[in-house]
Amino acid sequence: MTPVSSHSPHGQSPLRTVQVLGGGNADSSVHVRSLTSGLVARGVRVTVCAPTDADHAYDFTGAGAEHVHVPRSSDPGAVAALRAACADADLVHAHGLHASFRAVLALSGRQTPLVVTWHDRAFAEGARAHLVRLLERRVVKTAAVVLGTTSALVDRARRTGARDARLAAVSLPAPRRAPDAESDDGEGRKLKVRAELGAIERPLLIAVGSLDRHRGYDVLLDAARAWRRLDPLPLLVIAGEGPLRGELQGRIEEEGLPVRLVGHRDDARELLAAADLALLPSRWEARSVLAQEALQARVPLVATEVGGVPELVGDAAELVPYGRPGALADAVVRLLGDPERCERLRREGVQQAATWPTEDETVAQVLSVYDELTQARPLI
């Protein structure tokens, strides 16, 4: 299918799209930044509707987009601001459940096509879980196309009533600055990071992600008790912030666990590159950024066999059941004692990463969807 270009052979004006973000999800924000850059390079006009702090963090305007501040809330003021921003859009593309629901409200009564990308599941319990299901149903029944970043999310969209649900090609953009870990500069940086963390002559284990219940850090701390018998004693470093910080820190101190919480880190990639193992103990993951970065950085990964993780990593990681601290601890101990297995995972990780979509392939797929939905655009 011919991609949308800045000028069609029939004299149409450049396609104008509006990308809608809730502003709270790093994965979707990184994706929109990459997508914006690729769309603008192909002559598409892009407006990104997101909180101002999201533009400061991800520089959508630097990628060539117009930025319109839209608060995270779904109150009438936020919806009105989004409706005004979408007034002359040829197509609206919303990312995440809450951003998608705001887009549905803003487009009410209009014929503007809506594309929705589900990057992850929305987690909720009790009465809020029922509300989430209602929002999902409203969104997928309104959207012309729902793109899911994993097969499980595509299936969920179809079960919820989506007219057209497809697997999304989503790339992990390359880091803006990525020194070769094998170079003198890269090796020196690794030693510096390990010294800072206190892991010069002991194994370093890294987990990265918000300190929320679904991340499985309670299970990870249970597992950490099991490897206290190892000599040298591994150090587990968890990078991230969230509501469970106080609870987790209390357990670490009370139980004397070899674990450090280092908060949010802008150098999470460098922490990962310095590690002996990466750990992903989540109850659910879609297209985990940590898993992708670990394989690209040649760091052996131990992850729970949930959500989109198995199809993402293939045979290039040690997979364990969720909620089984014994299995998680055993996998860590086994890898720390088996350098040949670790080296095999490093090689397989690089091979697996080579099968993932590139940024160009991601943009091409999105453009093909836009083209399907805007072929009959009127002349201006």
Cβ partners under 8 Å of residue 263, min gap 6: 239, 240, 241, 245
Q: Alpha-carbon distance 242 to 234, whole Å?
A: 24
Burial, 225: exposed, middle or buried (Cβ in 10 Å; 0-12, 13-18, 19+)? middle
| Over residues 185-214, mean pLDDT | 92
Domains in the chain, ordered, with CATH? 16-171+358-374 (3.40.50.2000), 184-353 (3.40.50.2000)
- First CA to last CA across the chain, in angstroms? 24
Q: Is the pLDDT of residue 24 over 70?
A: no
Tokens read off for 40: 């603008």
pTM value is 0.85
- Whether 117 and 144 have beta carbons less than 8 Å apart is answered as no
Lowest mean pLDDT among 1-5, 209-213, 291-295: 1-5
pLDDT tens sequence across 231-258: 999 999 999 999 999 999 999 999 999 9
Q: Could you tell me the pLDDT band of residue 182, with boundaries at 50, 70 and 90?
A: low
Q: Could you tell me the pLDDT band of residue 172, with boundaries at 50, 70 and 90?
A: confident
Q: Is the pLDDT of residue 46 over 60?
A: yes
How high is the pLDDT of residue 6? 43
